Structures are given as C-alpha cells and as structure tokens.
Chains A and B, each alone.
Chain A
Amino acid sequence: MNDADDRALVLGYKRGNTAAFEALMNRYQRPLLGYVAGMVGDRALAEDLVQETFMRFIRGLDDYREKDRFRAYIFTVARNVAIDHLRRKHEQPTELDCAVREDSGKDPDCRAAELQCREAVLEALAALPAEQREVILLRFFGDLSFAEIAGQTGIPLGTALGRSYYGLRKLRSLLGRFYQGVLQ
C-alpha cells in the first residue's frame, strides 16, 4: 500500500466509486482501531469513534486535498475525533474494556492470554502521560514519520522524538515482568 494508491482511491471515491471507499476502509480500519483504542482505552468506544472518523471523512470529502498524504489526513481526523470525545466526556482513558470478539478456531487459552496481554498493554498505555501516548500511537499505528507527528500535534521535531523516547522506555518499564509473556 502506498500514498499513490490511496490518492487514486480517494479520487475514485470522489468520482462516485463506492468500491474505492470500501478499499480505503479495509485498509485503514485496523490501524485506526488500534490507535483510537489506545487513546480512549475502550475497544467498543474505539469502534464508534473510528466509524465517526470515516463519517467525517465522507462528509468532508472536499476538504481533502490531493497533495495531502491520506494516511496522515485520516489519522488527523481520528485524533480530532478522539480528542473531541475525551473533552466532551472529560474522560481519562483509564477504564479498560478489552472485550475480544469471538474468533472461531482459536484456542480458548490462547484467546485468554491475548486478552491478558491487551489489558496489560492498554493499562500501561493509560498510565503514560497523554502527550507521550499520543506520539507513540501515531508513530506505531499511524506509521507517521516523526516530522509528520510534529506537524500534526504542533510540537517541535525534537520534542516529538523525546516524547516517543521517554514514553517507550516508560511503557517498557511499566510492562515489567509481564512483557516477557507479551513477547511470547
């Protein structure tokens, strides 16, 4: 997947091709879900917010300029949606709801371990300062460069690098012993 493909899909959708939108949605729903879930700490809520993100994209289709990188654009929209929600609810993303969908064919023990891992990671993420968490999530799920993250969040590049550095190290220390289990 590359930026040219994304631009072609957006252009196709602008010309009325619904399949192009579906392709974009299939491409970005997973990373967006991970990013938003990390921001709000709730998977079900993250689904709603990702849906709202796509709805905003549909409504504001004319706002998207072809020269923009779609990945950066859609993650900016998702970030705004998540921030709006957190402001509206005055929520801190500490409450965790890691309800995993029933994946048929998976071993129940494996599913339980996966759920545990997610809970541990989400807890660790929730314990990070919001600024550090945001940079880490944008870098990891959004696959945005640090320069893009700096531009999007309105901070200097060095600050973005520092937040990621200290955030990841803190995340690693928070995961503690559990980290070994996560990797395995």
Chain B
Amino acid sequence: MSTEHCEKGVAWATQFAAGELGAFSRWRFKRHRATCKACTRAVLEMQEAMAALSVLDFGELAAGRRELLRAAAERAAAERAVAGFRHEQPRRWWRQAVACQRLVAAAAVVSVAVLVAREAPCPRQGGPAPQAPQVPGRIPDPELAWDAGEADFAALSARVGYLKTGGGGLQADAGTGSIDAALRAVRARLEQAQAPES
C-alpha cells in the first residue's frame, strides 16, 4: 500500500481525527491504521493542524457587548409585553389536533340535534299536534264529550285522524268500543256533510 495516499483515509481518518467515529468504526480504523502509513500520517497531520487552530482564541467581545445587552433587553421587554396578550404556551400540533377534533365533535352534535328536531315524530305533517280545546266548563276529552253528547267535531276528527295515521293506535284502542262508535259517528257526519253538496 502506498504511503502517500489512502482512499480510505479521506473520510475515515478525517472522522477519526475529529472524534466522530463510533466505537466499532474507531476500532476498525485503528486496525487499518496499524498497517497503513498514509492514514497514520494523515491523522497526525490533521491533529497537529487542529491543535494549531486552538491559538485562535480571541477571548470575549470587547466592544459592542453593552449595546447587544441593551438591544436584548428591549426585545425581552417587548416579548414580555406581547406575552400578556397571547397564550403562554405555543400551540403544538397535538393541541391543534385536539382543538380541531373538539370543533368537529361540536359540529356533529349540532347537526345531529338539528336532524333529530326535524325528524321528530309529529301526529300530522306540517302542523302542531292536535289538542282538545280547553273550554272552561266543558269536558276536555272529545271522546268523553261525544259520550256525554257534547261532541266537538273538530277535536274528535283530529283524534280520529291521529288514530288513523297512528296505525297501531287504532288497533290498540279498538277493543274499547267507544272509538269504534266515534269513528262510525264521524263517518256518518262526514257523509251527511258531503251529501247536500253533491
């Protein structure tokens, strides 16, 4: 092997002289160096040159130090002033992610609430739930009122309509008898009402 130059020395010896090699690489390079005069000399020269550089210690800043400290103090004061208006901790990515997730969750809750409110079961589409008229001195339940001879036609038809659209409700109340009687009566009333017109 030539004593003038070694291709391995360029990277290897440089890192060795700079103390950047890991333990295993250092051991391998030492083994290589034992048989390579070029690398041995290169490392020695580099270490000597680095030792020579150590004389370039110019000490501390002689001038401008005070000015620097003043500028730094001004900036620090500005930072303190600004800190009063902003959050102390800078927002990290995970904080932003959590904040974003919260927003998404809140939006989802609002959307679901709106949907539920829209889709809420209503006895009749497009109108309020039918209620028996609350007239003082009268029996409020139209069914009972029918039985009592004080039938409120509108309330009773509303009730019947509810039962019709309610499906199972009619079947469930069918056994009572009074609803059937009411239905029959309403149908008869309706037929009577339609008869003169036709």
**A, B assembled together:** yes
B-binding residues in A (CB < 8 A): 13-18, 21-22, 25-26, 29-30, 33-34, 37-38, 43, 46-48, 50-51, 54-55, 58-59, 61, 101, 103, 114, 117-118, 121-122, 124, 136, 139-141, 145-146, 158, 161-162, 164-165, 168-169, 171-173, 175, 179, 182-183
Contact with A along B113-148 (1 / 0, CB 8 A): 000000000000000000000000000000000000
* Interface pair B63/A182, CB less than 8 Å apart: no
* Interface pair B20/A146, CB less than 8 Å apart: yes
Q: How many residues of B contact A (CB 8 A)?
A: 42
A141 to B80, CA, bound (A): 33
* Interface pair A51/B76, CB less than 8 Å apart: no
Min CB gap B175→A, angstroms: 78
Contact with A along B44-81 (1 / 0, CB 8 A): 01101111110111111111110111011101110110
* Interface pair B49/A171, CB less than 8 Å apart: yes
Known interface pairs A55-B71, A61-B75, A140-B53; A34-B58 also in contact (CB < 8 Å):
yes
Which residues of the partner chain A approach B13 to less than 8 Å between Cβ atoms?
165
Which residues of the partner chain A approach B62 to less than 8 Å between Cβ atoms?
47, 101
Known interface pairs A18-B76, A29-B61, A48-B64; A168-B56 also in contact (CB < 8 Å):
no
Which residues of the partner chain A approach B50 to less than 8 Å between Cβ atoms?
140, 168
* Interface pair B14/A121, CB less than 8 Å apart: no
Q: Is the interface of A mostly helix, strand, loop or mixed?
A: helix
Which residues of the partner chain A approach B20 to less than 8 Å between Cβ atoms?
145-146
A-binding residues in B (CB < 8 A): 9-11, 13-15, 17-18, 20, 42, 45-46, 48-53, 55-65, 67-69, 71-73, 75-77, 79-80, 83, 88
A58 to B61, CA, bound (A): 17
Known interface pairs A51-B61, A55-B68, A169-B42; A118-B15 also in contact (CB < 8 Å):
no
Known interface pairs A15-B80, A161-B10; A50-B61 also in contact (CB < 8 Å):
yes
Which residues of the partner chain B approach A172 to less than 8 Å between Cβ atoms?
45-46, 48-49, 52
* Interface pair A168/B45, CB less than 8 Å apart: yes
Min CB gap B85→A, angstroms: 13
Q: Which 10 A-B pairs have the closest CB atoms?
A: A16-B80, A51-B64, A172-B49, A21-B72, A168-B46, A168-B49, A172-B45, A171-B49, A33-B58, A117-B55
